[in-house]
Homo-oligomer: A and B are copies of this chain.
Amino acid sequence: MTSKVFHHPVQIYYEDTDHSGVVYHPNFLKYFERAREHVIDANVLAKLWQEHGLGFAVYKANMTFQDGVEFAEVCDIRTTYALDGKYKTLWRQEVWRPNAQKPAVIGDIEMVCLDNQKQLKPIPDAILASLSLTP
């Protein structure tokens, strides 16, 4: 079961662009992470790390770059997610420019949980609860 669509705005600053005039492509992975942190709640993530040594890590990221994004634009990051077994969450995330007919960037992201020894762990209840997911 896939979640509803979450919206997160990202304004494009100097830091985001490169000398070709558009956003430097690795930065879209940053916007996706920012958006996920608003979906999950960064404080839940911070607590999980400090108290349980558990982190939420990207395992796979498949990105398609369909359009350039320019300085001063405010983009809409659209996020849905689903649980896939005990260990994986799947995220579809898109970057939409203002008034666009299709996403500028599409990402399919697999997230897993790792402890501070980098061992795979089941998605913790705190994250499932924050995401309203039922295992």
Residues on B with C-beta less than 8 A from A65 are 57-61
Interface residues on A, range: 35 or more
Whether A2 sits at the interface, judged by CB under 8 Å, is no
Q: How far is the CA of A27 from the CA of B14 in the complex (A)?
A: 12
Residues on B with C-beta less than 8 A from A61 are 25, 61-63, 65
Q: Is there an interface contact between A18 and B20, defined as CB atoms closer than 8 Å?
A: no
Whether A68 sits at the interface, judged by CB under 8 Å, is yes
Q: How many copies altogether? A: 4
Residues on B with C-beta less than 8 A from A22 are 19
Q: Is there an interface contact between B118 and A68, defined as CB atoms closer than 8 Å?
A: yes
Q: Is there an interface contact between B58 and A71, defined as CB atoms closer than 8 Å?
A: no
Query: 0/1 per residue, A26-61, Cβ < 8 Å to B?
Result: 110110011001000011011001000001011111
Residues on B with C-beta less than 8 A from A20 are 14, 19, 49, 55, 57
Q: Is there an interface contact between A118 and B49, defined as CB atoms closer than 8 Å?
A: no
Q: Is there an interface contact between A29 and B30, defined as CB atoms closer than 8 Å?
A: no
Closest-CB distance, A69 to chain B (whole angstroms):
11
